[in-house]
Amino acid sequence: MLSYLIRRLLLLIPTMIGATALIFFVMELSPVSVTNTLLSREGNVLPGARKAREEYLNRRYGLNNPPVVRYFKWLNGISPVGVKEAGEGFPGAWRFGFKTPDLGDSFPQSKKVSEIILDALPVTLLLQAISIPIAYGIAIWTGIFTARHRGKIQDIATGSGLLALWSLPVIWVSVMLIGFFANKHYFPWFPTGELHEPQSTEWTFLPGNGTRGWLLDTAWHLILPVVCLTYANFAYLSKLTRAALLDTLGADFVRTARAKGLGERVVLYRHAFRNSLLPLITVFASLLPVMITGSVVVEKVFSINGTGRMIIDSMLAKDTELFLSVSTITLLLQLVGYLLADFAYVLADPRVSYE
């Protein structure tokens, strides 16, 4: 198990360097420059002053260096092991060793990247932390239901319905939901966006004082975005559950269990179900990175300031540091997902071992 884990970790390093390098150089090739973005924000200055200002900004942000140098500087910055100032980190006297990873600064926003990400990340994580368990819960139930009624009308109808649900574009669903259910001309049941009412900061946590309270308010705002985030995952996961369960139900040990007279429920839940969990776990591993990027559309439509919107904004402002950092976090989450999945395999299925 340990050697397997170490191999996984080591293999991740080239993957991460490759992916971040690809993103860096794609952004580097573009004609947009962050200096110009900053200058245009400053407004009109005299031509000579503009030139001097441009040079100053380039020097200040290290943009005079060739792209390769800048990439490796950034890579050294985020790495926990690397070149550092003497006097910090682990062997203190050396100029090379362990140090605190630094995600760098966002030039257009004049802030530390880690601060920006920490602002946006909890919002997205909240959305996903609600929608993923819901998706899994309903999916497992539907999957079992369809697998039990295999080939019958329930199965075929649900199967087509789930595929249709999976094919529904989130851009359409979100627009329709917000258009019909958050609209005073149709059904004004839900708020049109954001996560809280502006005045909710003054409210108590639970309902009281004639207000609905912070918690209920947030839940009310979350309903539509969570529906948009959930339905596609749910459809996909139920199809997966059904396929996995059907696979297991055809196995010999299930026949044996039935032959020795076990009830249908026991066969299904104690014998078959646990053995069909592996594909669901695998998908969960790939859902973790989706947590960061997956809600780009939903956050845009519902005006929620999470990582999804941050990605678009950082892209448009050519905020290389911010964008690279988000990508790195996505990659790391993927690793965490894979590792968690590997552990979960062992828990779910005793036959799996990494020795």
Partner 1 sequence: MSEGGPPDNPTVGRPPGGASGPAEPAHGTVLAGASIAYEPGAVDRAATAVGGGGALPPPKRRAYLQQVVYDTFQNLRARFASGWIVLLMFLACFAPFLASSHPLLVKVDGKWSSPFVQHLGPADVVLPCVFVTGVVLLARRRLGMGQGVLLLIWVAAVTSVFAAGPDFYTALEAAGEGRGPVAGAWRLLARSPVLTALWYLTWVGMVAFAIVAALRWLPRRTAGVTAAILTPLCALLIVFPLRPPENVVYEQYRVLQAQGKTEFMLRTIVPYSPTDRLRDDPDARLTGPSAAHWAGTDAYGADLLSRMIHGCRIALAIGFIATGIEVLIGVFVGGLMGYFAGTIDLIGMRLIEIIEAIPRLVLLIAVTAAYGRNLYMMMAIIGLLGWTGDARFVRAEFLKLRKQDFVQAAVASGLPLRSILFRHMLPNGVTPVLVSASFGVASAILLESTLSFLGLGLVDEPSWGAMLEQARSGGAGFNWWIATFPGLLIFLTVFAYNLIGESVRDALDPKLLKRE
Rule CB under 8 A: which residues touch partner 1?
11, 14-16, 18-19, 22-23, 26-27, 29-32, 151, 160, 163-164, 166-172, 175-176, 178-180, 183, 185-186, 246-247, 250, 289-290, 293, 296-297, 300-301, 311-312, 315-316, 318, 323, 327, 330-331, 334
Angle at 317 between CA 313 and CA 320, to 5 degrees: 95
Residue 271 corresponds to which tokens in the numbers above? 């014998």
Identity of the residue, 59 or 152, whose beta carbon is nearer to partner 1 in the bound complex: 152
Identity of the residue, 316 or 346, whose beta carbon is nearer to partner 1 in the bound complex: 316
Residue 6 corresponds to which tokens in the numbers above? 């170490």
Query: Rounded to the nearest whole angstrom, what is the least distance from the CB of residue 343 to partner 1 in the complex?
Result: 20
Residue 243 corresponds to which tokens in the numbers above? 């396929």
Identity of the residue, 13 or 206, whose beta carbon is nearer to partner 1 in the bound complex: 13
Query: Rounded to the nearest whole angstrom, what is the least distance from the CB of residue 98 to partner 1 in the complex?
Result: 25
Handedness of CA 83, 84, 90, 93 (dihedral sign): positive
Q: Taking Cα atoms as reference points, which of 280, 269, 270, 255 lies closest to residue 148?
A: 269
Query: Rounded to the nearest whole angstrom, what is the least distance from the CB of residue 179 to partner 1 in the complex?
Result: 4
Identity of the residue, 53 or 148, whose beta carbon is nearer to partner 1 in the bound complex: 148
Hey, is 296 helix, strand or coil? helix
Identity of the residue, 230 or 314, whose beta carbon is nearer to partner 1 in the bound complex: 314
Residue 215 and residue 206 in contact, taking contact as beta carbons nearer than 8 Å: yes
Residue 247 corresponds to which tokens in the numbers above? 């696979």
Identity of the residue, 21 or 215, whose beta carbon is nearer to partner 1 in the bound complex: 21
Query: Rounded to the nearest whole angstrom, what is the least distance from the CB of residue 168 to partner 1 in the complex?
Result: 6
Hey, is 63 helix, strand or coil? coil
Query: Rounded to the nearest whole angstrom, what is the least distance from the CB of residue 228 to partner 1 in the complex?
Result: 13
Q: Taking Cα atoms as reference points, which of 162, 163, 193, 161 lies closest to residue 175?
A: 193
Hey, is 245 helix, strand or coil? helix
* CA within 13 Å, CB half, 107: 21
Identity of the residue, 102 or 247, whose beta carbon is nearer to partner 1 in the bound complex: 247
Residue 274 and residue 268 in contact, taking contact as beta carbons nearer than 8 Å: no
In whole angstroms, give the CA distance from residue 206 to residue 214.
Answer: 6
Query: Rounded to the nearest whole angstrom, what is the least distance from the CB of residue 210 to partner 1 in the complex?
Result: 30
Ordered DSSP codes for 284-320 = HHHHHHHHHHTTHHHHHHTT--SHHHHHHHHHHTT-H
Query: Rounded to the nearest whole angstrom, what is the least distance from the CB of residue 16 to partner 1 in the complex?
Result: 8
